[in-house]
Amino acid sequence: MSDLDGLFQAARAAQDKAYAPYSHFKVGAAIASVDGRIFAGCNVENAAYPVGSCAEAGAISAMVAAGDSRIAAIVVIGDGEHLVTPCGGCRQRIREFAGPDTMIHVAGPAGIRRSFTLDELLPHSFGPDNLTER
Ligand code: THU
């Protein structure tokens, strides 16, 4: 199994666990850290709708809690015919722990559909470097 296959399988397993009783739209995300570990997350909705969280946020939280802080690649998986690209907020969340060339792979049930660099999805981004120039 290739590294990307493994990351896809981790994202799909997390998607199965998603708690999405309101949107019925289950999302999974899996991060390969630069240190070579995999961290997965799923969306977790809430009866108070805005309090729900995205799959990417869960995966990032798991990574940080385990002591890793750099993303090498991420797979995001969702169902339906449209590409499940990370939402705007999650692009910024990924940005915090990734570089412009970090790969974001967008998957459907059958596998990876398209791959983007972070810079393609969040060009001219604001990040930690902006705050070190003060
Ligand atoms: N969702 C994610 O988990 N990640 C994204 O990048 C896009 C949206 C979730 C949030 C919500 O639970 C459901 O998908 C529908 O928006």
Q: Are the CB atoms for 77 and 92 separated by under 8 Å?
A: no
* Position 14 pLDDT exceeds 90: yes
- Spot the catalytic one: 45, 56, 96, 120: 56
Alpha helix positions (H), the chain? 3-17, 55-65, 88-95, 118-121, 128-132
Query: Of all atoms in ligand 1, which is nearest to the CA of residue 23?
Result: 15
Taking the C-alpha atoms of residue 67 and residue 59, their distance in angstroms, rounded to an integer, is 13
HSE-up (13 A, CA, CB side) for residue 124: 0
Beta bridge partners of 111: 108
**pLDDT category of residue 19 using cuts at 50, 70 and 90:** very high
pTM for the model: 0.97
Give the 3-state secondary structure of residue 1: coil
Specify the pairing of strand 71-78 against strand 27-33.
antiparallel
Residue nearest to atom 7 of ligand 1 (CA): 87
80-132 tens-digit pLDDT? 999 999 999 999 999 999 999 999 999 999 999 999 999 999 999 999 999 98
Pocket test residue of 17, 19, 54 for ligand 1, highest count of atoms within 8 A of CB? 54
* Position 134 pLDDT exceeds 70: no
47-88 tens-digit pLDDT? 999 999 999 999 999 999 999 999 999 999 999 999 999 999
Would residue 56 show up in a list of annotated catalytic residues for this protein? Answer: yes
Is any ligand 1 atom within 6 A of the Cβ of residue 45? yes
- How far does the centroid of ligand 1 lie from the alpha carbon of residue 35, in Å? 27
Within 10 angstroms of residue 41's Cβ, the number of other Cβ atoms is 28
